[in-house]
Amino acid sequence: MSSAPHPVPLIASAGTPTANLRPATSYIDLKAAFLLVVANMIGTGVFTTLGFQAAGVPNGAALLLLWALGAIVALCGALSYAELAAAMPRNGGEYHFLASIYHQALGKVAGFVSISVGFSAPVALAAVALGRYAGTALPLDPAWIALAAVLIITLLHALNRELGRKFQVGVTALKIGVILAFCVFASMQPRLPGTLSVVPDQDTLKAIFSPAFGMSLVYVFYAYAGWNATAYVVGEVKNPSRTVPLALVLGSLLVGTLYLLLNWVFLRSIPLAELIGTIEVGAVSARNLYGIAIGDLLALTMSLLLLSTVSAMILAGPRVIQRFGEDIPALSWLGARNRRGAPTHAMLFQLGLVTLFILTDSFETMLTLAGFTVTLMSWLVVAGLMVLRRRAPHLKRPFRVPWYPLPPLIFLVMSGFSMLAAALQRPILVAAVLGGLLAVGLGFYRYGEVRRGA
C-alpha cells in the first residue's frame, strides 16, 4: 500500500470493519436499491433530448448508436462504482470517493457539484419536463405543476422515510410497466412518413464522425446518469457489498434495453422536421401514433412517470448534502437528521435550489451544465478506481470489476471524448464551469485548513 496520506481512514486502514461505517438503520433492500437506480436513470433525458440530438445528427442509425454507446458506457461506469462502493460503503458518492482517493479539495469540489448541480439541476429538469408533459393535457401552468410536484415529494421523504421508500418502489415499478407496454403497442404501428430509418446508410459514418455526434453524447450520458444512484445512499443499504453491485449492474442493463426500445419508437413515429428541437418527444410520439385524445392521455401518464425520477433524486441528493454538512463546520446545519432518520435540512436546502432552477426555466443550458459536470465527476471517480488499485492493492474488495481494466478504460475514453466535444462546442460555458469548480473547491479546502489551524 502506498505511504501517501489519505484524508479518509478507510483506505489507510483497509481492515476497518465496514459495518462500523454504516448507520444501524439500513433500510434499503435489493429491490428498493435496484428500483432506485432505474428511477434515477429513466427520467428527463430519454423523454426530452432526442430533439436536440437530431438537430445536429439527422441520421436514424447514428442516433440509435448514440443510445447503444450510452448503455455500454453506463454499464462500465456501474461496474467501476460497484467496486468502490462495496469497498468503501459510506454515503456521499463522488464526494466520498474523490476525497478518499485523491485529496480533500477535490472532494469539496464534488460536494459542491452535488449540492448545486449534481442533484438540484436534474431534479429541476425532471420537474420541468413533468410540468411540460402535463401541460400538454391540462390547462395549468407547467412551472406551477413542477413546483407542486417537487414540494409534495420532498415533504413525503422528509416526514416519513419508510413511506418515501414504498412510494419510490411503487411508482418506479409502474414506470417500467408503462414504458414496456408503450413500446410493445407502438411497435405494432407502421412507420410514419418522414421519419428516420435506423438502417445505416451512406450518411451514417459522416454523422458519427461529426462534432455534433460528440456533443450529443453529452446529452445521452446525462440521460443515462443515475446508474450510480445507490453509491450515494450505500450507508443505508442492507448488505451493501452484495446489494450495491447487483443493483447498479442490473439497473443499468434494464435501462439500456428500455432506452433503445423507446428511441426506436420515437424515431419511427416523429418526422425529422417535427423532431428537431422538440422537448416533449414522448408526447409528440404518442399523439402521432394514437391521435390527440389518446396522445394527451399518454402524455399525462408520461408526466406521472417522471414523479419516480423526481422522487429518486430527492431521496439520494440530500444524503450527499447531509454528508457534506457533517464535514464542513460552516454548513453543519445541513448535517442534521430528524427523529425518523431523514436529512430534513438538506432536503429543504435542495428544495430551495430546485425552486430557483425551475423559475429560471433555462432548460437547454441546465441540461448542458448538468450533463458536463456530472460526466466530469464520474470520470474522475472511475479514474480513481485505477489509481486505488495501484495505491491500495490490499484494500478489501468484496466486488471486483470483471475484465479489468477494460470497463473503466471504455468509460474513460468515451466520456472523455464527449467532454472534449462539449468543450469545443460550448467553450465559454465549459471554461466557466471548470473555473468555478476549481475556485469553490480550493476555497472550501482553504477554509477548512484555516479552521483546523485556529
Residue 20 maps to a domain: no
pLDDT tens digits along 236-250: 888 888 888 999 999
- pLDDT tens-place string over residues 249-286: 999 999 999 999 999 999 999 999 999 988 788 888 98
For the entire predicted model, the pTM comes to: 0.77
Q: Which amino acid is at 420?
A: L
205 domain-assigned: yes
- Domain limits for position 166: 25-448
User: For the purposes of burial, counting CB atoms within 10 Å of the CB of 7, is it exposed (0-12), middle (13-18) or buried (19 or more)?
Assistant: middle
Task: Domain count for the chain, please give it.
Answer: 1
Judge whether 248 lies within some domain: yes
7 within some domain: no
Strand-pairing partners, residue 28, are 237
Give the per-residue pLDDT at 293: 79
In a domain, 143, yes or no: yes
Distance CA 162, CA 166 (A): 6
Query: Is 19 a domain residue?
Result: no
* CATH code at position 334: 1.20.1740.10
| Angle separating helix axes 363-391 and 120-135, nearest 10 degrees | 140
pLDDT at 317: 77
Question: What residues are paired with 237 via a beta bridge?
Answer: 28
- Extract the C-alpha cell encoding 304: 406521472
Return the pLDDT at 444.
63
Structural domain includes residue 10: no
The answer to whether residue 282 sits within a structural domain is yes
C-alpha span between 293 and 186 (Å, rounded): 16
- In the prediction, which pLDDT does 11 show? 44
* pLDDT < 70: residue spans in the chain: 1-27, 44, 361-370, 429, 433-434, 437-438, 440-454
Whole-angstrom distance, CA of residue 454 vs CA of residue 48 = 50
